[in-house]
Amino acid sequence: MRFLIDFFPILLFVGAYKLQDIYVATAVLMAATVVQTGFIYALDRRLQTLHKVTLALVLVFGMLTLFLQDERFIKWKPTVLYGSMALVLAVALWGWGKNFLQMLLGSQLQLPKPVWNKLTVAWVGYFAFMAAINAYVAAYFSTEDWVNFKLWGYVFPLVFIVGQGLYIARYLSAAEETAAKPPHD
């Protein structure tokens, strides 16, 4: 269900673009992201930093797109978001010695520290890749192609998340087996 909630604004954005233009689609994206954020808050009674940052960037870049009538702003928003996330995770891990991914998900997943570090490096690479590919499509392809990429580009996060799940599955199984063993007398 979470995936559908995450996909909702993009689906409406693409639909509005196909029916109207990039400016109507941008307004729809802004409204849909506000609704999405409200829905997530209603479910969880809190918002993660990523939700807040995404909402802020969609609203800021969306307003710039609409007020200046320049589609480049909304097209570059994903590059800024992904690039920022890669930078924050990288600086935290290698500069401050903090693993933000573990801090966010450590209460839900019990993994060894080296696995958390590898996952964080994978996320840094994923975000850097997504920033670069969005920048490339935004710079060298038409708006129509970029909008289509936004829809069909969802294959990248799906493949990444499935791969990540396969990678950590063996560690989760080992942690469950250890937890299930009765204590020795």
38-77 pLDDT per residue, tens: 999 999 899 888 889 889 999 999 999 999 999 999 999 9
pLDDT of residue 104: 82
pLDDT score, position 180: 46
Distance, in Å, from the CA atom of 18 to the CA atom of 184, rounded to the nearest integer, reads: 64
Q: Which residue matches tokens 């480049």?
A: 72
- Which is nearest to 92 in space by CA: 123, 46, 115? 123
**Confidence band of 177 (pLDDT split at 50, 70, 90):** low
Average pLDDT on 121-133 reads: 96
The reported pLDDT for the residue numbered 185 is 46
Q: Is residue 154 scored above 50 in pLDDT? A: yes
pTM recorded for the entire structure: 0.82
Q: Look at 5 and 91; give whichever has higher pLDDT.
A: 91
Percent of the chain with pLDDT over 90: 65
Residue 7 banded pLDDT, cuts 50, 70, 90: confident
Which residues fall within 8 angstroms of residue 19, CB to CB, at 6 or more apart?
Answer: none
pLDDT at 15: 95
